[in-house]
Structure 1
Amino acid sequence: MSLTSIIRPFFMPRVRQIARYASETEEIQRGVLRHLVSQAAQTEWGKAHGYDNIKSYEDFAAQVPVSTYEETKGYIDRMRHGEKDVLWKGSVKWYAKSSGTTNDKSKFIPVSAEGLKRIHYAGGRDAVALYLRNNPESRIFDGRTLILGGSHAPNCNLPGSLVGDLSAILIENINPLVNMIRVPKKQTALLSDFMTKRDLIAREAINKNVSNISGVPSWMLSVLDRVLEISGKSHINEVWPNLEVFFHGGVAFTPYRERYKQIITSSKMHYMETYNASEGFFGLQDDPSDPAMLLMIDYDVFYEFIPLEEVGNPEAKAVALWDVETGKNYAIV
């Protein structure tokens, strides 16, 4: 009996919970909001917006305005200086560096310990759960997982604050049990110089029984090309014959799909897209035949949307998930 066949049943209850999403959307999301409001009620933000008096989504919508990153940046800067109970209870040590603000400057997204556990790592576990549901013959746990991420570093002027790519934050804080089946070693995975890192990862992983890989398609492709260079092989499945799935995200996979097919020729290879952003783990490709992703609605993320045509309108009204209209384009708040 394979290790995967022993572990697989432990993931199936979660698969059944996810199946409730379609029929219990509003109930689940209202529960998420209640939890978040109660946890943040005694923070500066919570007190300023009357969280103690919020009993429903309707109360929340009436009392809490839609805010931009720029409007919350002052709060985040104070958190990075070590202040507690500002936007979230307690202090927050980790900040994911994310680009793309209106000011063309990096955003620093607080990543709390609860957020790591209840959002980002939950998404990783669910990706495996749905993959096992879709592939009952999988032997994913009988091999190693190659996880490719970025790097992180302390702020010299903010000694209590650590900043880095979300992927590096996840690797740094991952369950020690996962490290037992993961390659490369943490020291290598968190190197900041990518060319050095790709070479060391390739050399560390080349003789391992790698069954699954995770990362950004462009970065991973560079590592796989290096594996082929070092091994002298033409195809990755000659190096890792038991490789069966690539969990990918961060950038669109379409531009890289053909190249992956060229270097991984195994008919048993699968690809599963995930949407794990600095702000939260939002979606998973639950159906291999459909590129659309399932919105993950029972993590610590409460969803609101603004119709695309109203983006930029200060009077725009946010719409809860259960009130969105099929076929209409929205921007996530």
Structure 2
Amino acid sequence: MEVLNSFMSWVFKTRLGQIENFKKNPIQTQKTVLFDLVDAGRKTEFGKKYNFSEIKSYQDFANNVPLFDYDSFKPYIDRTMQGKQGVIWNTEIEWFSKSSGTTSSRSKYIPVTEESLEECHYKGGKDMLSLYVNNYPNSKLFSGKNLTIGGTLEKNPLNPQGTAKAGDISAVIMKNLPIWAQFVRTPSLETALMSEWESKIEKMAHETMNENVVSLAGVPTWTVVLLRRILELKKAKHILEVWPNLEVFFHGAVAFGPYRSLFRELIPSDKMRYMETYNASEGFFGIQDQPNSDEMLLLLDYGIFYEFIPMEDWETENPKVIPLQEVEVDKNYAIVISTNGGLWRYKIGDTIRFTSISPYRFKISGRTKHFINAFGEEVIVENAEQAIAFAADKTNSSILNFTAAPVYFSTEENQGAHEWIIEFKNPPEDAAVFNAHLDDELRRINSDYDAKRYKNLALKEPIIHFAPAGLFEKWLGKKGKLGGQHKVPRLSNDRGYLEELLDLLKEEVG
């Protein structure tokens, strides 16, 4: 295994020169990406509609192609899912990545082409390993197994009899991995892609607890659930008693900060490393390339052309859109992408803040909408408003105001939760019934929330506090924000607002 580890480390380091090239020549790299994409899309229905053959510059591209969000781009995706090819990309699209939905859909489906798999998602995984072994030359990363917690696959809902398939992006990637990559990972592919999460975690624990696991990759939420089950089965105090050679956790999808202390207890070693990635259904965007940093390197030669909307312009009718060379440090931008997955000037809903422009490094700063994504559930404001309206209607109650935030995993609790404070005009007769309707409706309209709530594996039922009349107004007054232009934040991914309101609630009720 030592020989294999040395060889694999050398192989992955060979990509470093290309990474250095796009770091040194970012604008030229992005220009090349743009015109490669336009050339690929020229003969598609989309390309013909927006006159790709006339595009000779970035400005032509920006003038010809409008901005899209999921709802406005969905007709193109739906036609592709129904089996029509050549709509948005020039090669056959056989896979779709499923993630949480928008106001009109329980789930959204993002096209995944062969090009986006090979030149984006897989390249991202290879570059992650390249940067890691370069930063840690004494790593034994290839001396054991990588434990990966994948998602699930499903039939194409718009064409169940067709050849195109759908699933979480992690499942799509895992299903299509080359043989050599399957050899160095655990658990078995069959187990990793199981759809029933309780059985899946149990089987994963039994399959992996006697392996020589040296690295973990996945979402912190499910990783914690799995590690705790393994500790129970092995009757171990911490995970290094099970896997003494474990050295790194490659993580993404949710903010890692709230989980850091929990992982420190599960893996009590100063030598344990954590490396953040930014890999979404739409593409692989960033990797933490420096040890002990909270910044990520923007990946520029992955078949993704980036544009940015300054957040101060986000809600204007015709927002200002700028290419990479015009971004500034310490400003919040919404990301717009055109990709080798067939997305064109697509607003993904994430915001970032650049920490450096030489090279281009950034931090994820949030979403264009208020949201909770502490466990990978991606609950947006529209989800919350729809669910709370449904619960109010079912219980003959009426609501004045509400806010919600996550309750993170703790050393005592295996699950997280969403905690709500709701101010009613007419409260429901039975709080438990209201809570059940709210939870059920959220599960119905948001597939990611539903997956995390399944048998309380990651999320338990919501915690709801009924607020006395005037609580939110009093809170706004204390913050000097009374007035029509100030609103209560509906959702927050941290507990700042909620803790302030809970303190005020304690004062109010004595």
Fold match, TM over 0.5? yes
Kindly provide the amino acid, as one letter, of the partner of residue 80 in structure 2.
M
Larger radius of gyration: 2
* Separation in structure 2 between the aligned mates of residue 129 and residue 23 of structure 1, nearest angstrom: 18
Secondary structure in 1 matching 2:249? strand
Kindly provide the amino acid, as one letter, of the partner of residue 225 in structure 1.
R
Aligned residues: 333
* Separation in structure 2 between the aligned mates of residue 164 and residue 143 of structure 1, nearest angstrom: 28
Q: Comparing both structures, which one devotes a greater share of its residues to strand?
A: 2
- Which structure is richer in relative contact order (CA contacts within 8 A, separation 6 or more)? 1
Which residue does 1:308 correspond to in 2? 311
CA contact (8 A) 1:83 1:91 kept: no
Which residue does 2:21 correspond to in 1? 20
Kindly provide the amino acid, as one letter, of the partner of residue 52 in structure 1.
S
1:215-230 alignment, distance < 5 Å: 215-230=218-233
CA contact (8 A) 1:96 1:109 kept: yes
Pairwise CA distance, 1:2: 3.6
Q: Which portions of structure 1, spanning 4 or more consecutive aligned residues, are displaced by more than 3 angstroms?
A: 102-105
Q: For 1:267-289, what per-residue CA distance to the aligned partner results, in whole angstroms no more than 9, with x for missing partners?
A: 32110010100111111111122
* Separation in structure 1 between the aligned mates of residue 267 and residue 44 of structure 2, nearest angstrom: 50
Which residue does 1:75 correspond to in 2? 76
Query: Normalising by the residue count of structure 1, what TM-score does the alignment of the two structures yield?
Result: 0.96
Question: Is 1:257 aligned with 2:260?
Answer: yes
* Comparing 272-281 and 102-111, the one that deviates more: 102-111
Gaps of 5+ in 1: none
Secondary structure in 1 matching 2:14? helix
* Separation in structure 2 between the aligned mates of residue 138 and residue 90 of structure 1, nearest angstrom: 39
Which residue does 2:326 correspond to in 1? 323
CA contact (8 A) 1:147 1:213 kept: yes
Query: Normalising by the residue count of structure 2, what TM-score does the alignment of the two structures yield?
Result: 0.64
* Separation in structure 2 between the aligned mates of residue 76 and residue 196 of structure 1, nearest angstrom: 33
Which residue does 2:168 correspond to in 1? 165
Q: For 1:108-157, what per-residue CA distance to the aligned partner results, in whole angstroms no more than 9, with x for missing partners?
A: 10011111111111111110001011100001011011110110111365
Pairwise CA distance, 1:259: 1.0
Question: Is 1:109 aligned with 2:110?
Answer: yes
Which of 202, 205, 208 in structure 2 is aligned with 1:202? Answer: 205
* Separation in structure 1 between the aligned mates of residue 302 and residue 238 of structure 2, nearest angstrom: 38
Pairwise CA distance, 1:162: 1.5
Q: For 1:51-104, what per-residue CA distance to the aligned partner results, in whole angstroms no more than 9, with x for missing partners?
A: 122122122112111122212111111000100100111331211112253446
Gaps of 5+ in 2: 337-510
* Separation in structure 1 between the aligned mates of residue 328 and residue 64 of structure 2, nearest angstrom: 24
Kindly provide the amino acid, as one letter, of the partner of residue 259 in structure 2.
Y
Secondary structure in 2 matching 1:224? helix
Question: Is 1:146 aligned with 2:147?
Answer: yes
Q: For 1:155-179, what per-residue CA distance to the aligned partner results, in whole angstroms no more than 9, with x for missing partners?
A: 3651223221111111111111111
Q: Percent identity?
A: 45
Which residue does 2:126 correspond to in 1? 125
Q: CA RMSD in A?
A: 1.4
* Separation in structure 2 between the aligned mates of residue 74 and residue 157 of structure 1, nearest angstrom: 12
CA contact (8 A) 1:2 1:139 kept: no
Which residue does 2:289 correspond to in 1? 286
* Separation in structure 2 between the aligned mates of residue 10 and residue 176 of structure 1, nearest angstrom: 16
Q: For 1:294-333, what per-residue CA distance to the aligned partner results, in whole angstroms no more than 9, with x for missing partners?
A: 1111101100010101113231121101111112111012
C-alpha distance 37-157 of structure 1, shift in aligned 2 (>3 A): closer
